[in-house]
Structure 1
């Protein structure tokens, strides 16, 4: 028989939730409240029940709609442990009808929360359940290992990096988007649109199998329509909680501002060109906005490096961007499972394969060049001779009009 053990100095939290994005959000909220917590994540009910046979949690956060078990099995399993004091159990559910709530209440969950979740309310509950006087809360980045070089650090972060820093103040954006009954989806979209990290993260969340089973989501508008305003706001709030989501180093902020401006110019050129050519302007705008995701992700990791005691210089920042931006961007787009069509448009900003290209691919390549172009008249003549411009039948005069329309 398996022995039930619990290390007295470790706070254990079990999160059982099938949606990977909600799971990640819950983990981040827990760690933002109690940074020393050991968080165990299960996406299936059987695995969660098995974990309970070998450990006693201090808190369980679990979805009622958990595959592999009937809807209240996990709550029953925790209550059958008959621990004193009673183990806190936060039950999450898509169901808020009175019959479903009454059925769950008989097993005394600590809280019954319906989706989409209110993250601020959840955080307050967790503070009451996990914090005591003298216990650690959220902490800064950990100290770097002895002998670790910046190159070694970036190599370890490439496949697990959280993405870009935020250019938008999420809490202010959500506050400005509030309507009579919560976030207004149109105002929320307008507030979040300038931020590449928020746009990419919400598109990734909307494309998760549990959220969406139809055509791939490729724009922020589609993502929020799928997630809903409340869930979209909650996920955005979670992204703002993560370590180094906000840059504080002046040298890194300066570089980030350049990348944000270049991304926005590319997005504006792409959308304007798409309207001219009667193509999908929202998708093209999104692809342009995400062109510098890798560069920005490197800057965020450099902030982590700096906060952990590592030295930074203009030279090391430049070298790191040149060496790792493309790899970080590719890793993020793959790990977040952004739709292949969107990834192809992002890649086309820099280059495209000559065989079988679409008009949108040509458009993105031209938009990327326009965003990086100076104002010299000869530059428009040169760009008009490019293959992308020729195939799209756009001449130098068209490009000049386009520049005036976008740049003002």
Structure 2
């Protein structure tokens, strides 16, 4: 069924998990950037909205609280609209009994996790665009005389986070078959990407997934989300705007912060293992500690796409001024566990009462930043190294290839 919409189509999304709603919103925005999206976490609220005014399309999960997606579809069919209202039912059920239960209600699409993004987007185009119809939406423009500082202040609490590593995007360009992947394979593919680690941990701790203690590592988050849901969330990130940094100056800075994050994470894991504490949690904190700087670079890419100008010096100044705030805002908005955020904060400063994990994070961050020309005996004299009994010889054995990292001297003091 196709329709030549004269006005923006009205689309209802019903999914318990906010990250799934965000993914669907991104997909729909790629097809119809002018669409009016109404998002609900339960079937009853979504049905009530449909009864007040029928939308042009419904996308709903089967596993909704209250009124489930199948019953929601049944209620929509009882409205007896001609032609039937397009309704996409999402599920992880592939058994024949479930399929037979659904068939009499004739969903427009029976969508099984993980989605085939290309097929889903093509189906959405068929439903929301007439043959040959195109819809163009202008990129958000800058306000008259808007300064870069004002733009970044406005984006700090709305940032989408960091860009993705190229190696992750390359892996996602392959047809990922969930039947051939397991959680260990996913962890190996995603373990180095700060954005994916943070977003999957946040998704695993959302109300829809919450159970027991909070997840603080990718290894804890993946089993809670499952292979299919994890792949969908990562593919949704890959579809977002500015996941690649096209400006070479921004890409160079991002490479520095990716490298800094990975070195900090690796040192943190090694130190934690030797101290007999949670190595994977320390690794994750090290990996995420520069996510604010990376998110800031992504926003600078958006500034350029909105026709802003960007001098080299302005990039360095923006990182110094806004990197910390972007990181704090992201970690709070994504509701990363407080314990993890405290470890991230320890990479910059030791305050109050601190334990061995905080000392490990602080020393790991110093090691990752330590200049080649500065003697390691000075690092061994630091508070963290002394309290962990890490001497100069030990540091030398752990730091065989020492790096002067930054393309520009970028300073930053972050909080959790």
TM-score by length of 2: 0.89
Give the match for residue 123 of structure 2: 125
State the Cα distance separating 1:360 from its structure 2 match: 0.8
**Mapping for residues 65-144 of structure 1, pairs under 5 Å:** 65-136=63-134, 141-144=139-142
**Which deviations, in whole Å up to 9, do the C-alpha atoms of 1:286-334 show, x marking residues without a partner?**
1111111000111101111110111111122122111111111011111
Residue of structure 2 equivalent to 1:338: 336
| Equivalent in 207, 210, 216 of residue 209 of structure 1 | 207
In structure 2, C-alpha distance between the alignment counterparts of 1:31 and 1:132, rounded to whole Å? 16
Which residue of structure 1 lines up, in the alignment, with residue 61 of structure 2? 63
Cα-to-partner distance string for 1:50-76 (whole Å, 9 max, x where unaligned): 221333211100122222325534213
Which residue in the other structure is 1:360 paired with? 357
Partner of 2:383: 387
Contact 1:32 1:137 in 2 (8 A): no
* Residue 249 of structure 2 is aligned to residue 251 of structure 1: yes
Q: Which residue in 2 is equivalent to 1:267?
A: 265
The equivalent position to 1:372 in structure 2, one of 369, 372, 381, is 369
Deviation by residue 1:358-401 (Cα, 9 ceiling, x = unmatched): 111100000001100012462x2122121111111111221111
1-structure distance, mates of 2:140, 2:377:
52
In the alignment, which residue of structure 1 is the partner of 2:297? 299
Q: Is residue 168–residue 193 contact of structure 2 (8 Å, CA) maintained in 1?
A: no
Distance 1:293 1:363 in 2: 19
Q: Which runs of 4+ in 1 moved over 6 A?
A: none
1:14 match: secondary structure: strand
Check conservation: 2:92, 2:112, Cα contact below 8 A.
Answer: yes
User: Once structures 1 and 2 are overlaid, which stretch shifts more, 87-96 or 9-18?
Assistant: 87-96
Q: Which runs of 5+ in 2 are unaligned?
A: 404-416
Query: How many pairs align?
Result: 399
Q: CA deviation at 1:184?
A: 3.9
Determine if contact 2:114/2:231 at 8 Å carries over to the other structure: no
Aligned to 2:396: 400
- Hey, what does 2:15 align to over in structure 1? 17
1:4 aligned residue: none
TM norm structure 1: 0.91
SS of corresponding position for 1:72: helix
2:288 counterpart of 1:283: no
Tell me the distance in 1 between the aligned counterparts of 2:177 and 2:128.
32
Is residue 321 of structure 1 aligned with residue 323 of structure 2? no
Contact 1:170–1:236 under 8 Å retained in 2: no
With 24-33 and 42-51 compared, the bigger mean Cα shift is at: 42-51
Secondary structure of the corresponding residue to residue 216 of structure 1 = coil
Q: Flag the 1:394–1:136 CA change in 2: closer, same or farther, 3 A.
A: same
